Structure 1
């Protein structure tokens, strides 16, 4: 009888551990180095040749499904990002620096391989919804697509309940201003560093 109770208890403990290993989740936050570049400018691409990086911020939640050394990790992340562009639209005036800021709700869906339950190699698409977009304090959201796709790729570490990730991200959006005959793509690129805490 004693052995039966121990066996049942052991099976229950193994089942619980397996479930915990199969599904994990928690919260994350971090900073990044963000830049904005212009592609396919209809007038003069050289007008926007120079760019400068700014600090970006992000925070959100994640869930991770682990299967035989592979994993899928969907996330929901609020991101504040942007960049600086140096422009000279008239070619005869002094250069002007444009500050561009985005607030976004991003849903990365990462997939990859886990090495020894410590190191993660990962990549995946990002569904991005634009919440606000401003240039020098003025809203430009109406000129831009509200949703688009991008991608992330990088490496992560799991140290007990702590997670650390370094990723590269790129998301592009079309910008169209018919009144000024402007039509081009704004590409937002980031190097992201995030720290997370597993809650289950």
Structure 2
């Protein structure tokens, strides 16, 4: 599936020929969290369940973008590596993924623009840090979410602020040392993305 996503990105870039086309690199920080942590242990035959929302932490992203202007709007496919970190009361959760957003944007006032579109995600790895807990892979390695935001283009340099969310649950299950410590984490991202880009 990774090869399929990369091929789709290349085909989109190759087929969208226009007079105003640019390619470049970008990176920056993201601040957000994954979804709810649920303790799903069974103690003394009685089912016990508790829930906790994660605390947002800072991560980062880096990758490539292309931009094609067509009929007054632009299409911007990207291929990004992203690390998203979340803090729960007893541990930290780290999610590494490849993001492939395909955004449609509009220049609204001088260098200002707005953009939105789907974002395809491929989860590379998920880890528990700071606790002796084992976690399985997420249910869906590939899922789709969305990104929306605004940008500022100053010549070759660009600045973006976006929000990223997801459409469906994507749960990872984990095991503690005892049955009471079994748990699950909804690994859907909910984060703000701050980027700096440079057109080559």
For the 8 Å contact 1:28–1:62, the answer to whether it is kept is yes
Residues 1:104 and 2:97 aligned together? yes
Residue in structure 1 matched with residue 3 of structure 2 by the alignment: none
The alpha-carbon distance between structure 1 residues 163 and 143, as it changes in their structure 2 partners (threshold 3 A), is closer
| Partners of 1:63 and 1:192 in 2: CA distance | 18
- Give 5+ residue unaligned stretches, structure 2: 1-17, 41-46
The SS at the match of 2:113 is strand
For the 8 Å contact 1:133–1:139, the answer to whether it is kept is no
TM-score relative to the length of structure 1: 0.73
Moved more, 55-64 or 130-139: 130-139
Deviations 1:155-192 (A, max 9, x none): 01110111100000123522246996756633221111
| Partners of 2:71 and 2:109 in 1: CA distance | 11
The SS at the match of 1:131 is strand
| Partners of 1:24 and 1:139 in 2: CA distance | 44
Total equivalences in the alignment: 169
Structure 1 segments, 4+ long, off by >4 Å, are 39-45, 176-184
Residues 1:36 and 2:29 aligned together? no
| Partners of 2:100 and 2:134 in 1: CA distance | 23
The alpha-carbon distance between structure 1 residues 52 and 183, as it changes in their structure 2 partners (threshold 3 A), is closer
Name the structure where helix makes up a greater proportion of residues.
1
TM-score relative to the length of structure 2: 0.73
**What displacement does 1:41 show?**
7.9
Residues 1:198 and 2:193 aligned together? no
The SS at the match of 1:170 is strand
- Give 5+ residue unaligned stretches, structure 1: 1-17, 87-96
Moved more, 157-166 or 29-38: 29-38
For the 8 Å contact 2:112–2:151, the answer to whether it is kept is yes
| Aligned-CA RMSD value | 2.7
| Partners of 1:164 and 1:27 in 2: CA distance | 12
Larger Rg: 1
The SS at the match of 1:187 is coil
The alpha-carbon distance between structure 1 residues 32 and 44, as it changes in their structure 2 partners (threshold 3 A), is farther
Residues 1:150 and 2:148 aligned together? no
